[in-house]
């Protein structure tokens, strides 16, 4: 019987499948379909210091082999999460990752401080957010921004810290190395690629925000390439995500160097996707005599 357990920064997951932030809410709706304990973990809906209503509609559009979204981090705020969502989550027998976002460094630092005394298992930094203090430049698009946020959060929490990297950069390995050098215990990648759709009849952007994040199978080859690049540069674990929809995708991402995986957009077309992927991965391992997921990680054979 294949051992599906994986260890990311000292946190042991029962299997490598983690629900990606923003696609699983806080788990309650999916728990009506199957126990969320079937997942290795949940990266919760991105939370901010204060409640956010999100962007005006329309904020989701279809794109070839995926979707485009600019939801705008709609969430109830960190205190609501701690008081109302986390107690329920901790009863579900799965690992809880708090994904945090902000518009200035101080937002991140304060949230890390508040979450440090809670029962979450890990913090994931969403650094694909515009820094209002720097004229709207995203934290994750410069090594200075990555370093500042990571080091500041590290000083405010003892929780395992994972930094979610933006693919909208010249060299993602530089961002990963900056995160590692400033206290990150793991990195997750990729976040969404910036995209745009236009309605040819109204001639308006389909998304009210004009642009949004592209996710789904269309971005998978980009994600595999970036995970492979980063895994060959850093010493900390890499959690791979971006377009994973099948167990074959999961194996491919593990071979590229991922220690664990996050599933996002696939949940919208098939909410049972993580369950099917876990079963397929287990069968693949049994068929090929692979005893542990760690035997697959980084197993790519270069030409």
> Checking DSSP bridges between strand 41-43 and strand 95-100, what pairing results, if any?
parallel
CB-CB contact of 104 with 48 (8 Å): no
Structure tokens, 251: 């194996």
Of 286, 201, 250, nearest to 18 by C-alpha is 250
**Residue written as token pair 């895994």:** 231
As a whole number of angstroms, the distance between CA 253 and CA 171 comes to: 19
CB-CB contact of 74 with 51 (8 Å): no
- Among the listed residues 82, 129, 190, 234, the single catalytic one is 129
As a whole number of angstroms, the distance between CA 179 and CA 143 comes to: 8
Of the chain, the end-to-end C-alpha distance in Å amounts to 32
- What burial letters (b/e) apply to 19-58, b meaning 16+ CB within 10 Å? bbbbbbbbbeebbeeeebebbbbbbbbbbbbeebeebeee
**Residue written as token pair 């705008």:** 72
Of 264, 250, 230, 234, nearest to 293 by C-alpha is 250
Of 125, 122, 142, 123, nearest to 134 by C-alpha is 142
**Residue written as token pair 């008081």:** 83
129 is known as an active-site residue? yes
Active site residues: 129
């Amino acid at each position: 019987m294949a051992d599906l357990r994986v260890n990311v920064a000292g946190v042991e997951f029962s299997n490598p499948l983690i629900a990606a932030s923003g696609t699983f809410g806080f788990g309650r709706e999916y728990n009506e379909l199957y126990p969320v304990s079937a997942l290795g973990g949940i990266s919760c809906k991105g939370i901010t210091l204060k409640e956010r209503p999100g962007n005006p509609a329309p904020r989701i559009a279809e794109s070839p082999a995926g979707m485009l979204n600019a939801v705008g981090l709609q969430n109830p705020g960190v205190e609501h999460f701690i008081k109302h969502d986390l107690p329920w989550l901790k009863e579900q027998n799965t690992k809880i990752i708090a994904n945090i976002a902000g518009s200035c460094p101080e937002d991140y630092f304060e949230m890390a401080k508040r979450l440090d005394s809670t029962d979450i298992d890990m913090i994931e930094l969403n650094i694909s957010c515009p820094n209002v203090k720097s004229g709207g430049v995203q934290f994750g698009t410069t090594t200075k921004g990555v370093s500042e946020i990571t080091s500041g959060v590290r000083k405010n929490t003892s929780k395992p810290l994972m930094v979610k990297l933006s693919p909208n950069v010249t060299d993602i390995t530089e961002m990963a190395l900056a995160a590692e050098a400033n206290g990150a215990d793991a990195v997750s990648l990729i976040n969404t690629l910036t995209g745009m759709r236009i309605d040819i009849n109204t001639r308006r952007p389909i998304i009210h925000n004009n642009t949004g994040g592209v996710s789904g199978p269309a971005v998978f080859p980009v994600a595999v390439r970036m995970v492979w690049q980063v895994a060959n540069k850093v010493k900390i674990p890499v959690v791979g995500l971006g377009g994973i929809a099948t167990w074959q995708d999961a194996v491919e991402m593990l071979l590229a160097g991922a220690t664990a995986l996050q599933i996002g957009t696939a949940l919208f077309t098939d909410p049972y996707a993580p369950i099917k992927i876990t079963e397929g991965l287990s069968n693949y391992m049994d068929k090929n005599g692979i005893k542990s997921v760690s035997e697959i990680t980084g197993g790519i054979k270069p030409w």
